[in-house]
Amino acid sequence: MFEALFDSAGRMAGDLMEGRIRLGVTGLSRSGKTVFITALVDHLLNPSRLPLLTARAEGRLHAALLRPQPDPQVPRFDYEAAHAAINGLSGTAGWPPGTTRLSELRLSLRYRPHALWRQWGSDAVLNLDIYDYPGEWLLDLPMLRQNFADWSAQAFHIMHGNQRRPLAAPFLEALQTVEAAEPASEAVAADLARRYTAYLFACRDSETPFSHLQPGRFLVPGEAEGAPMLTFAPLIPAAFDPGRGSLWRLMEERYEAYRARLVKPFFETVFSRLDAQIVLVDLLDHLKAGPASVRDLGLAITETLDCFRHGSNSFLSSLLGPLWRPRVEKLLFAATKADHLPRDMHAAYGGLLAAMVAEARRKADFNGAATAAMAIASVRATQEADVTRDGEVLRCVTGTPLGGGAPVAAFAGALPASLSEADLAAASAAGQFSSISFAPPPRAGLVAPGEPLPHLGLDRALQFLIGEALA
């Protein structure tokens, strides 16, 4: 896996061997990608809080440096801005804003290789290449294997779910007024696209937060905002005339342009050649909302993971041709924001995610990838405290609420024993999940100035993902 590369000044990095890991950070919107990438860089630049990263524990990790990224077409990930926000360097600490565009970062690690290599006496460099992107775009990947009719059929199937149907009513009503042989019309297409987009936003923002929202760029358009390829909507397959000049044909062409011009390049740039992948999932909000929300999240994650199936018969390898080599060797499923739960609940929290992705994990294991599931907090915003209420001692987490104010304690209640409908409904109905969002930890207090932020399990995650490459 080693290859000779040039350093930031365009020189060969001395006699050092350089290796490369393309780390795929995969997660739906708000799953914690940007915070994870920021924490990862922060900790590798200053690895004082990474005891479980073996190279660090053995004193072999010498230095880390942000260097120019390999892809000149993609903007650089603004690590400094995200780091400054979380650390409150320009005022109060807050989380970085939601991501609206693609960006990339290269972090180079200088380390002393282990054992066999040590006798050669020289250091080596591992380049870690990471992309950040809006989580909404991830759900476009399954569209790569669906034609317009298949995608439309699935969209209507999902739309008719109990809790979604009322949200789709304005779109469905408008659709009823459209004739089967409707000729292609910009006005009709624009109206349907606008209503379908409003339905997606309503699903995202509803009390039962839904995750399976396609097309992702209807929610976060990026540079394609306003383009005709974003002006389409699903049509009921059997009910429309697909002939020349028809509305169906117009929508179908735009759907195809969306896939070819936006989704395929996104996949090829970010995901087609990964060495390691972390799948970040924020399960807590969905557990709170109940079975429908968890089921929808499970569908979204399972469909997305299907795009990364290993093996020569995977649909993406056939789609992208011989250049595509599936090579994800490490696959980590991480249940994020574990700092909302006391430590003794972390194993169960990671276990629920493991259950949700069991099938995808089995396939990856079978195809030879190393897989693991765990709970992590990229940034630990809370501390644990026992609070006595009505004579009962409750294990809580305490932290500063996101809007500011005095620290508060939150009781996490009990996680569902399993992802069965009955267990999920019972856990959600018990209403025990706290809905408090915590601000990043204050600089004075939990963290000394200049020190990297506290985390939970980030070093374990890093050891799994890049530990072997640093061996």
Ligand X SMILES: Nc1nc2c(ncn2[C@@H]2O[C@H](COP(=O)(O)OP(=O)(O)OP(=O)(O)O)[C@@H](O)[C@H]2O)c(=O)[nH]1
Cα–Cα distance measured from residue 231 to residue 136, given in angstroms and rounded to the nearest whole number: 17
- Smallest distance, Å, CB 397 to ligand X? 9
**According to the binding rule CB under 6 A, does residue 30 interact with ligand X?**
yes
373 vs 391: CA distance, rounded Å? 36
Looking at beta carbons only, is 235 or 447 nearer to ligand X? 447
**Residue 377 in the binding site for ligand X (CB under 6 A):** yes
The reply on whether position 34 binds Mg ion by CB under 5 A is: yes
Closer to ligand X by Cβ: residue 134 or 215: 134
379 binds ligand X (CB under 6 A): yes
> What's the token pair of residue 48?
């004082």
- Kindly write out the interface string for residues 334-373 of this chain, putting x where it contacts ligand X by CB under 6 A and - elsewhere: --xx-x----------------------------------
The two tokens of residue 130 are 């990471």
Angle, helices 358-366/346-356, rounded to nearest 10 degrees: 70
Helix, strand, coil percentages for the chain (3-state, nearest 5):
45, 20, 40
Question: Distance between CA 357 and CA 331 in Å, rounded?
Answer: 11
When the beta carbons of 34 and 463 are compared against Mg ion, the nearer one is: 34
208 binds ligand X (CB under 6 A): no
Q: Does 206 bind ligand X (CB under 6 A)?
A: no
Question: Is-contact 341 381, C-beta < 8 A?
Answer: no
437 in contact with ligand X (CB under 6 A) = yes
3-state secondary structure of 438: strand
Q: Which is nearer to ligand X, 113 or 135 (CB)?
A: 135
CB 234 → ligand X: shortest distance, Å? 24
- Residue 270 CB, shortest distance to ligand X, in Å, is 13
Determine phi and psi for 32, rounding to 5 degrees. 110, 25
CA distance 106 to 103: 11
Number of residues forming the site for ligand X (CB under 6 A): 23
Instruction: Please list, in sequence order, all residues whose beta carbon lies within 8 angstroms of the beta carbon of residue 39, skipping any fewer than 6 positions away.
Output: 378, 379, 452, 453, 455, 458
d(CA 367, CA 329): 10
Strand order in 383-389's β-sheet? Answer: 383-389, 392-399, 408-411
Q: How far is the CB of 345 from Mg ion (least distance, A)?
A: 26
User: 387-406: which residues touch ligand X (CB under 6 A)?
Assistant: none
Binding to Mg ion by residue 87, rule CB under 5 A? no
Residue from 24, 47, 135, 342 that binds ligand X (CB under 6 A)?
Answer: 135
Of 301 and 412, the one with the shorter C-beta distance to Mg ion is: 301
336 binds Mg ion (CB under 5 A): no
Which of 26, 54, 99, 382 is the binder for Mg ion (CB under 5 A)?
Answer: 99
Q: How remote is the C-alpha of 431 from its chain's centroid?
A: 27
Beta bridge partners of 103: 132
What x/- string results for residues 55 through 94 when contact with ligand X is judged by CB under 6 A? ----------------------------------------
Task: Identify any residues that bridge with 76 across adjacent strands, giving them in sequence order.
Answer: 104
Summarize as ranges the residues that interact with Mg ion (CB under 5 A): 33-34, 99
Footprint of ligand X (CB under 6 A): 27, 29-35, 95-96, 98-99, 134-135, 336-337, 339, 377-379, 381, 437-438
